[in-house]
Chain A
Amino acid sequence: MHPWEARLEQIASTAVYPPTPDLWPALRREWTTGSQRRSAPTLGWAAMGAVALAVGLALVAIPSARAAVYRVIQLGVVRIFTESMTVTPSAAAAPGVTPSLTATPELRAPLDLLGATSVQSIREAMGEAFRLPTYPPDLGDPDLAFLQSPGGPVGVLVWLDPDDPTRADLALHVLGPGAFAGKSDTRLIQETQVSGQKALWLVGTHALQLRTGEMDYRTLVTGNVLLWQLGDTTYRLETDQPLEEAIRIAESLR
């Protein structure tokens, strides 16, 4: 170790901290009583999600049903197939458009995407459309990066929740022109703005589909989603944060 680094380590080791609290008494209570109480809701949400997805996919698989029940809202390359009465407060639905979904679902875990690559590869593939959030200031680099081509380039950047690697903390989809993304079973859509431009805020569990040719990727989205467009690029931010924070993140893209 360089002498300067050794001295740095020595100084850092003398940093003063508050006394470390005794964590065990409270943890012991949780440890002895918590496991059964916690596992039930998790299974419940999983079951509810599976049912919601099954219902959503079953509906869009029946042409007459989807023509009657669904309307389509489009923002950029994303089409949202929604029940007409769920749109609030001012997002205009485009009636009479029949979604052309295929009925061959290929369900995968949300993080199990094709096209795993580096952030740099996505940057090179997407050029100026590629941007990373600079808010929150300590967000850091994404943990996972995927590049797909469902009709056009789609970059997916994922910040993982490391204590539960099946979940994402934050996910940003960058959808180039020509890509197709569909959403169904959306419960609440709110029109909002990102940098003065129209944006949509989707609340609640819904199905997401990315499609190219005969390939069909579908997954269940459990976070809230902010959709907006810059030029001919559509951005899709999935997060568990409230709308105000999602907008801040969206407007921080550089």
Chain B
Amino acid sequence: MTPKTSAHGDQLSEAELVADARGGKAAAWEAIVSRHRQAVFRYAYLQSGDPAEAEDIAQETFLRAFRSFHHFDDSRPLRPWLLRIARNLARNRWRSWSRRVRATERWKSEAATEAAGSQGLSDGGPAQVAGQLRRIVAGMREGDRQVIYLRFFLGLTLEETSEALSLPLGTVKSRLSRALDRLRDEVQRDYPTLRQALEE
């Protein structure tokens, strides 16, 4: 989950990288970006459904992090903080009407593809099942969606999810439990292919 692609990142712990970044070392920032860009980009993509939009959000996330790094509590993990920034940037951008219209159009297109798949026109393979799961979660309420994205799609621990959502751990656990109940009900009711995949 934590790729290490730069020499600086390979050599230093996150605490050391954060300290170096605070000290103005570009190599530390490069390593931080390298370690977390995939998670940030994917989270942004889950929120927006648009690669260009996700790239903008991911880039802006790191810029905001750089500008407000003095707010970061370095006793806490960095990734949830970055994902929190990404989520709020995505939320703010979503408020733009034109973006919302484009997202709705994408959703309609994906839903049409999914309907074609359910009629036997697609292969029903793992990627398609995962895509169907993503679209179902995308249609859930905000609180449910975020906790499922972070916990299951990005693989964060409960503690990291709690940090990313700025919620107490107990609240995250209960929210996740309720979200999964609702997801399970929806899958059982309307998505036989996914239901079968989940019960294998």
Please report A residues at the B interface, Cβ cutoff 8 Å.
4-5, 7-9, 11-18, 20-24, 26-28, 30-32, 34-35, 38, 136-141, 143, 161-165, 169, 241, 245
Contact = CB atoms under 8 A, between A and B. Distances in A.
Given A4-B198, A31-B26, A23 B37 contact: yes
B17 interface: no
Given A11-B126, A12-B134, 9 more contacts: A8-B180, A9-B151, A12-B153, A17-B45, A23-B58, A38-B67, A143-B166, A163-B64, A163-B65
Contact of B180 (A5, A35, A38, A245): A5
A20 B126 contact: no
Interface string B147-179: 010011101000000000010000000000000
B130 A11 contact: yes
B200 interface: yes
A14 B198 CA distance: 13
Contacts of A141: 143
Contacts of B198: 4, 7-8, 11
Contact of A14 (B29, B130, B184, B200): B130
A9 B68 CA distance: 33
A245 B155 CA distance: 35
Interface of B: 26, 29-30, 33-34, 37-38, 41-42, 45, 51, 54-55, 58-59, 62-68, 71, 84-85, 88-89, 91-92, 94-95, 100, 126-127, 129-131, 133-134, 142-143, 145-146, 148, 151-153, 155, 166, 180, 183-184, 194, 197-200
17 contacts: A4-B184, A9-B155, A11-B129, A12-B133, A14-B130, A15-B130, A16-B127, A17-B41, A20-B38, A20-B41, A20-B42, A23-B33, A136-B91, A136-B95, A143-B166, A161-B88, A162-B84
A31 B54 CA distance: 20
B95 A27 contact: no
A141 B134 CA distance: 23
User: Chain B at the A interface: mostly helix, strand, loop or mixed?
Assistant: helix
Nearest to B3: A20
A162 B166 contact: yes
A23 B59 contact: yes
Contacts of A7: 197-200
Contacts of A9: 151-152, 155
B63 A27 contact: yes
Contacts of A169: 88, 92
A34 B64 CA distance: 12
Nearest to B92: A169
A138 B94 contact: yes
B127 A164 contact: no
Nearest to A164: B68
B89 to A, nearest CB: 8
B112 to A, nearest CB: 18
B65 A138 contact: no
Contact of A12 (B58, B92, B152, B200): B152
A163 B85 contact: yes
A27 B82 CA distance: 15
Contacts of B129: 11, 14
